[in-house]
Amino acid sequence: MKTLSENRVFDGVQGVYVHPSVTCGCEMTFALYLPPEAAHSKVPLLWYLSGLTCTHENAMTKAGMQKYAAELGMAVCFPDTSPRGADVADDKAFDLGQGAGFYVDASQAPWDPHFRMWSYVTGELPRLIGDHFPVEMDRQSITGHSMGGHGALTVAMRQAERFASVSAFAPIANPVASDWGRKQFTAYLGNDEADWAAHDSSLLMRDHGFDGPVLIDQGTSDQFLDLLRPETLAEAMAARRQDGVFRFQKGYDHSYFFMATFMEAHMAFHADALDL
């Protein structure tokens, strides 16, 4: 693992690191913020999964999470959204290929050699962070935006024992019924729709739910509402009687301005679940 940068911010350290990934078969970059407390003791960890076209850098620089993480005493990890490199398959469309890993393990060519983001964010990267940084791996929560909201919800519901809480901003909530899902799942996973269900948060909520609190924020002026299908997840939460809150925020769109507005509430939500 190599350190690309480390900057002091709110008395903690914002680092960016690169490492050879066995899972993805290429170098992977991630960012990790460590609050001041990490200088002398281990701290809980919040994962932030980013959306389409993003890298580790977008939320690190735009979401304003470091200030709240420093105040609350939690680390925040920002993984990349896909494998990258000249030898990694790509597509001209913004919503497929590099920058659009969808947090699944591809089984179809040409994606399957590298596009294994599910195993990367649930296995290899957590092990790497636990081995090299002062974080409490038995105290984790997860959040994300758009494609990353989809990832956060599906990872949390399938690995419920790992997370104290889950939240999402404008998640792709029902990808098996959306062009933001059907296109990518066909490319990455094949034509058998039975293989897609494990990566749909509305279906997982209906069938399994989450053993912990859930917080969802969705802007009513989001330009991608028809692709996100938030009503499907809201209905599944209600039918499941899930411990959680689904909030429609009037006038907000899909941008980082929306996330920055409600980030403090999400950070406090996770801090409460982590007993901070």
Which one of the listed residues 141, 200, 222, 266 is annotated catalytic? 222
Sheet of strand 43-49: strand arrangement: 2-9, 12-21, 26-34, 75-79, 43-49, 135-144, 163-169, 214-219, 244-249
Closest among 106, 63, 89, 69 to 196, alpha carbons compared: 106
The active-site residue out of 21, 82, 141, 146 is 146
Angle CA 261–265–268, to nearest 5: 145
Contact 173, 202 (CB under 8 A): yes
Tokens of 268: 């406090």
For residue 254, indicate whether it is catalytic.
Answer: yes
Nearest-angstrom CA–CA distance, 267 and 236: 24
The answer to whether residues 1 and 128 touch, using CB atoms and an 8 Å cutoff, is: yes
| Catalytic status, residue 138 | no
Answer yes or no: are the C-beta atoms of 178 and 229 closer than 8 Å: yes
Spatial contact of 5 and 107, defined as CB atoms under 8 Å apart: no
Task: Report d(CA 24, CA 130) in Å as an integer.
Answer: 19
Task: For residue 146, indicate whether it is catalytic.
Answer: yes
Q: What Rg value do the Cα atoms of the chain yield, rounded?
A: 17
Cis peptide upstream of residue 175 (ω within 30 degrees of 0)? no
Q: Distance between CA 263 and CA 259 in Å, rounded?
A: 6
Catalytic residues: 146, 222, 254
